Amino acid sequence: MVFRNITGIWGMKKLLYLCRQQQNQPNMNKKKIVVFTGAGVSAESGLSTFRDSDGLWENYSIEEVCTHEAIERNRELVIRFYNERRRNAMQAEPNAAHRAIADLQKYFDVEVITQNVDDLHERAGSKKVTHLHGELMKLRSSINETATVAIDGWEQKPDARHKDGSLLRPYIVFFGESVPNFEKAAAIASEADVFVVVGTSLAVYPAASLLQYVDEQVPIYVVDPGMPELGRYRTRVTHIREKASIGVPEVCQMLVNS
Question: Cα–Cα distances in Å, from 132 out to 74, 88, 98, 173, 246?
Answer: 25, 20, 17, 8, 24
Instruction: Answer yes or no: 133 catalytic.
Output: yes
Which positions ≥6 away from 249 have C-beta within 8 Å? 96, 97, 100
User: Which helix (DSSP H) or strand (DSSP E) does residue 79 occupy?
Assistant: helix 75-91
User: In 92-243, which residue ranges form alpha helices assigned H by DSSP?
Assistant: 96-103, 120-124, 182-190
Which residue in 98, 131, 133, 162 is the catalytic one?
133
Which positions ≥6 away from 38 have C-beta within 8 Å? 51, 114, 115, 116, 198, 199, 200, 201, 204
Residues serving a catalytic function are 133
